[in-house]
A and B are shown apart, each in its own frame.
Chain A
Amino acid sequence: MLEGRLVRLRALEPGDLEACYRWMNDREVTHFLAMTYPMSYADEQGYIERVSSSDYTKGVSLAIETKDGSVHIGNISLENPHAEHRTAAFGIAIGEKDYWSNGYGTDAIVTFLSFGFQEMNLNRVSLHVFEFNERAQACYKKCGFQVEGRLRENYYAEGRYWDVIVMGILRDEFDALHSKTG
């Protein structure tokens, strides 16, 4: 388990299915995720089974839980790690909307990045975020991610194309922002 200031990150359990299923079928949540189709209960169950054990090759997906009250509020993941290039792709969803915009996501991200750099020995973490998700972009910048590019009309939803912003953070940049011993 990884300890942050406001949250802890723990492995996903079969009992997390109900909450994950609810989030992944909440359009206000999936609006910000690269999810086009409604996700069945069985699909979500398969997903949790698949990601509930982590290793470098498979990637790491963890549950975000508040330290105050142990509420499971979302999930966070590092996917497709490359052993040679030491890169991985980052993703996060805060499914409990009551916990939006309160610093939980930022704390989860910094905690998880610290693990990615200090324990998994990654050199670079990158992410894609929709142009309209300004709240998330501000949060990622606060964590130390830099905007690296803009993929024009890379995503289609709600009847139109949207640009996707590519952001990345290097290990040196993270270390300079967040003291090494955390």
Chain B
Amino acid sequence: MLEGKLVNLRPLERDDLDREFQWVNDTDVTRYLGMRYPVSKAQEEQWLNSRPANDFGNTALAIETKDGVHIGNIGLHEGQPENRKASLGIMIGDKDYWSNGYGTDAIVTLLRFAFHEMNMNRVWLHVYAFNERAIACYKKCGFVIEGTLRENSYREGRYIDAITMGILRAEFESLHAKGESDA
């Protein structure tokens, strides 16, 4: 388990299914994600049950408040050992916990793990241009805007741009002191 200030990141378990199923079918949640089709319970169960163990290539964790409420998931994907980089994805599925610093704390906690334990050099992400709340959060964590992928996705009847953001290990170190348990 990875300890943050407000949240812990723990492995996903099979009995997380009901919450996962609810979140990935909530369009308030999925409109910000790369998901558009309704997901069956069987499909979600299969995803949860057949996930390989977390490793350098792919790590997915549950975000839990210090009170033990599972509020969303976070992960590092497409890990490339030679390039020492991975993409970050996060979903706060429980809307009551939006905009309260939980996501920021989860991201900083996972970035620390990525840089200090997995030995990554770069973490990157794509975010829809209209998702200003998320972009502000990523910036707070230290991500830098690196570009705009024009009309990269089609959602809700129109093409939308994706913002590509990244953070390097050296940048993370200078923002978040090495041993400290965080800002």
Residues of chain A touching chain B, judged by Cβ–Cβ distance below 8 Å, are 56-57, 81, 83-86, 119-121
Contacts and interface: CB of A to CB of B under 8 A. Distances in A.
A86 B120 CA distance: 11
Interface residues of B, number: 11
A119 B84 CA distance: 12
Nearest to A81: B81
Main secondary structure of the interface of B (DSSP, over half): loop
B82 A84 contact: no
A77 to B, nearest CB: 17
25 contacts: A56-B81, A56-B82, A57-B57, A57-B81, A81-B81, A83-B55, A83-B56, A83-B79, A83-B81, A83-B118, A83-B119, A84-B56, A84-B117, A84-B118, A84-B119, A85-B119, A86-B81, A86-B119, A119-B82, A120-B81, A120-B82, A121-B81, A121-B82, A121-B83, A121-B84
A57 B56 CA distance: 10
A84 B86 CA distance: 13
Nearest to A56: B81
Given A86-B81, A121-B84, 5 more contacts: A83-B56, A83-B119, A85-B119, A86-B119, A120-B81
Contacts of A56: 81-82
Contacts of A81: 81
Nearest to B56: A83
Main secondary structure of the interface of A (DSSP, over half): loop
Interface in B89-120: 117-119
Contacts of A86: 81, 119
A42 to B, nearest CB: 30
Contacts of A83: 55-56, 79, 81, 118-119
B121 to A, nearest CB: 9
B72 to A, nearest CB: 25
A84 B119 CA distance: 5
A160 to B, nearest CB: 40
Contacts of A57: 57, 81
Interface in B108-151: 117-119
A84 B55 CA distance: 10
A57 B52 CA distance: 15
A86 B117 CA distance: 12
Interface string B58-95: 00000000000000000000010111100000000000
Contacts of B57: 57
Contacts of A84: 56, 117-119
A157 to B, nearest CB: 35
A57 B82 CA distance: 10
A79 B96 CA distance: 49
A83 B119 CA distance: 8
A60 to B, nearest CB: 11
Interface centre among B57, B79, B82, B117 (most CB of A within 10 A): B82
A4 B117 CA distance: 35
A57 B79 CA distance: 12
A92 to B, nearest CB: 22
A123 to B, nearest CB: 9
